[in-house]
Amino acid sequence: MHSHDPSAKLKNVSVTAPKLVLAGNPNTGKSVFFNAFTGMYVDVSNFPGTTIDISSGKYKDYVVMDTPGVYGVSSFNDEETVARDIIASADIVVNVVDAVHLDRDLFLTQQIIDMGLPMIVALNMMDEAKDQGIEIDVEELSQLLGVPVIPTIAIKKQGLDVVKDRINEARRGNSDPDLQAKLAEFMSKHTSIHNKAEALLIMEGDPNVAARHDILPVGLREQIYSQRRYRINQLLDQVVRDTKDNSPFKMKLSRWMLNPLTGIPILLISLFVIYKLIAVFVAQTVVEFTEGYLFVELYEPFIRGIIGNIIPEASFLGQVLIGEFGVLTMTFTYVLGLLFPLVVGFYFALSLMEDSGYLPRVAALVDRVLTKLGLNGRAIIPLILGFGCVTMATITTRLLGSKREKFIATALLGFTIPCSAQLGVIGGLIAPLGWQMFVLYLVTIFIVFVLIGTVLNKVLPGKSSDLLIDLPPLRLPRLGNVIQKTWIKSFAFIKEAGPLFALGALLISVLQLSGALDSIITAMAPLTTGFLKLPKEATIAFIMGIVRRDFGAAGLSSIAMSPVQTILSLVVITLFVPCIASILVLFKERTWKEAAMIWFGSWILAFGVGGIMALLLL
Amino acid sequence: MTLAEVKRGNRVKISNIPDEFIRAQAIRFGISEGEEIECIEKIPAGPVIIKKRFQEIAIGRRLAENITVTN
């Protein structure tokens, strides 16, 4: 009966079985409920046309589907459109609500009730609400909403079974009679719309849903939203009582994180801890084992042996598959041995910051600085990730609010942020030169970073979006959740970027075998020696940087140079074009024109800044 | 007066949010026109942090300058 059934778009999801859909705001503990319903057998599939993965499984006769955490259902972004389509097709909705955040969460609850979908509410985090002195009359809340409300503490597994047992008590809740009357009238006029949920979305002005039914969206969003908000506020006045001031320590800590005087030191300490975790533990101990032992010592000889038996390594195909930049050798070692552990490390740190509620506070703290560069506080996420892997970070620029911001962030990443693979080698080269040289490198890159952001912000047309984010209460993150999030994100990265790295390796092998790589090096050599005043071997290192950023930096270590020359070449290699996989992502994410601008721009920028430094310092 | 001018610790009533998209987002967070809120923190030249019941929201300075409020 549903004309736009999303289950038909997903792999391994039955179209005929009744659908049980989990819905809720971000970070309400929805995933714990999903796991409780489905157990171990879970399918994760991509929602076509988006970057969003949807988990699905089975509970009794139901197909259970998870949805991205959203504040409401409409089409403001990809998460919402996916959640919208899945929720609108549900037979039963389990709405997970954060008891500490009723103001915010009940908007979605009421919206789903207004859609006329049978629902059951899991009122989660009751323990935290109690700690904060929030008293909720659950009975009254259930009466007013008109659906069962079950208090739960998901992380302690309390109430999960009750929710599962009472699924069949799900029912359509109490909606605003005026709204329902309007909906009935609207549906009698447009008989092609059978689904009340879709009718509501069209009345709320959702352009995509309206287009599906070949009618114009109705501009009633504001009116419906305000009335819904009013209804919830009335309800809350009857149901919630604030008995004491909330946890004084958490409140103080939250203020400290936001106030620059204390917030900046807290941020620096946090970044230092992350640096220690990733640069010292992951980049050295873990990568030494995964890249150095597992891949270079075990895997590569193994695959060379197998393939080499059939295809001689010296042949063209042999070189492409198992040669120096081979798709089966270098790509696997690089992506799985080196990048994967680093990406896991970064996503682990980011998930910790997200689940604890610290990340949005960092975004608020740095907002002021980033607005000068035409970004807002949310851009801190791709910028931090850039130090892990620029390819991964470029993919996450999708979360930014406007095309303008996406371009600026992508440009900053492509031009100035050295990824972790490169940072390790750069650190190794700078360390013996003393702190003055380190400062010279840092200051140069920083100036370029600020200049690019400032100039792009001035030159690009349009307006960047402003910060408007929810600051959730601070809480201790749950390790299980953090690990699950880390895994899902890291896996998604490998799935998306892996093929690009392979394609990149293929391109480089072809360039090398056809002699084009050597021609480029010869052509560039005069530029390196004459303009940058560096030994001509440095050219090879620069070009190798296109293959793998750490190759470029590592190539420099074998060349005899003065300290200033070393710094100059490191600056050039940092600013120079990102690795081939990043370039491919760049062209995939941005328009050809924008991507080409960033790519050619980085040649000019790297040699321009290097040339100025050579002029001033050499 | 605009939200950006509100002093820390003061309570005000939101009278106008200019942008339609922002207005929809804000309503979802629990902040609509006519709502009474408290300014709990102002990051110098940065976002204004407001609170309503248990909900805290960070609002970029430029946006705060465009939201009008009354005492």
Residues of chain A with CATH 3.40.50.300: 6-242
Q: What is the largest CA-CA distance in chain B?
A: 28
CATH number of the domain residue B35 falls in: 2.30.30.90
The total domain count for chain B is: 1
Nearest-by-Cβ selection for B27 from A225, A236, A254: A225
pLDDT of residue A51: 65
Residue linked to tokens 């899945």: A86
Minimum distance, in Å, between the CA of residue A307 and any CA atom of chain B: 56
Look at residues A534, A601, A604 and name the one whose alpha carbon lies nearest to residue A570. A534
Rounded to a whole number of angstroms, the CA Rg of chain B reads 11
With beta carbons less than 8 A apart as the criterion, state whether A573 and A416 touch.
no
Pairwise CB contact (< 8 Å): A222 & B62: no
Q: Which residues of B touch A467 (CB under 8 A)?
A: 47, 58-60, 63
Q: What single DSSP character describes residue A299?
A: I
| Region label for A39, one of left (φ > 0), alpha (ψ between -120 and 50) or beta (otherwise) | left
**Secondary structure of B11-30 in HEC code, one letter for each residue:** EEEEEECCCHHHHHHHHHHC
pLDDT of residue A49: 66
Q: Distance (Å, rounded) from C-alpha A317 to C-alpha A311?
A: 7
Q: What single DSSP character describes residue A217?
A: P
**The residue count for chain B:** 71
Q: Which residues of A touch B57 (CB under 8 A)?
A: 468-471
- The backbone torsions φ and ψ at residue A167, rounded to the nearest 5 degrees and listed phi first, read -50, -40
Pairwise CB contact (< 8 Å): B30 & A255: no
> Strand ranges (DSSP E) for A308-369?
none
Q: Which residues of A touch B43 (CB under 8 A)?
A: 258-260, 364-365, 367-368
With beta carbons less than 8 A apart as the criterion, state whether A484 and A55 touch.
no
Nearest CA in chain B to A256: B41
**Which residue range forms the structural domain that includes residue B47?**
3-70
pLDDT of residue A520: 86
B38 and A CB contact within 8 Å:
no
pLDDT of residue A244: 63
Partner B, chain A 216-255, Cβ-Cβ below 8 Å: 221-222, 225-226, 228-230, 232-233, 236, 240, 242, 246, 254-255
Minimum distance, in Å, between the CA of residue B29 and any CA atom of chain A: 5
Look at residues A447, A429, A456 and name the one whose alpha carbon lies nearest to residue A573. A429
Q: Which residues of A touch B62 (CB under 8 A)?
A: 371, 466
With beta carbons less than 8 A apart as the criterion, state whether B14 and B35 touch.
yes
Nearest-by-Cβ selection for A468 from B20, B52, B60: B60
pLDDT of residue A1: 39
The predicted complex's ipTM stands at 0.95
Pairwise CB contact (< 8 Å): B44 & A260: yes
Minimum distance, in Å, between the CA of residue B13 and any CA atom of chain A: 15
Amino acid identity, position A138 = V
Q: Distance (Å, rounded) from C-alpha A76 to C-alpha A71?
A: 10
Mutation for testing the A interface, residue in B49, B54, B59 having most A CBs under 10 Å: B54
CATH homologous superfamily of A6-242 equals P-loop containing nucleotide triphosphate hydrolases (3.40.50.300)
> In this structure, are strands A43-46 and A53-59 parallel, antiparallel, or unpaired?
antiparallel
Pairwise CB contact (< 8 Å): A471 & B56: yes
Pairwise CB contact (< 8 Å): A72 & B28: yes
Residue ranges of chain A with per-residue pLDDT less than 50:
1-3
CB pairs under 8 A between A and B: 123
Q: Distance (Å, rounded) from C-alpha A154 to C-alpha A34?
A: 11
Partner B, chain A 31-70, Cβ-Cβ below 8 Å: none
Q: Which residues of A touch B63 (CB under 8 A)?
A: 466-468
Q: Which residues of A touch B41 (CB under 8 A)?
A: 255, 258-259
**Secondary structure of A508-557 in HEC code, one letter for each residue:** HHHHHHCCHHHHHHHHHHHHHHHHCCCCCCHHHHHHHHHHCHHHHHHHHC
B7 and A CB contact within 8 Å:
no
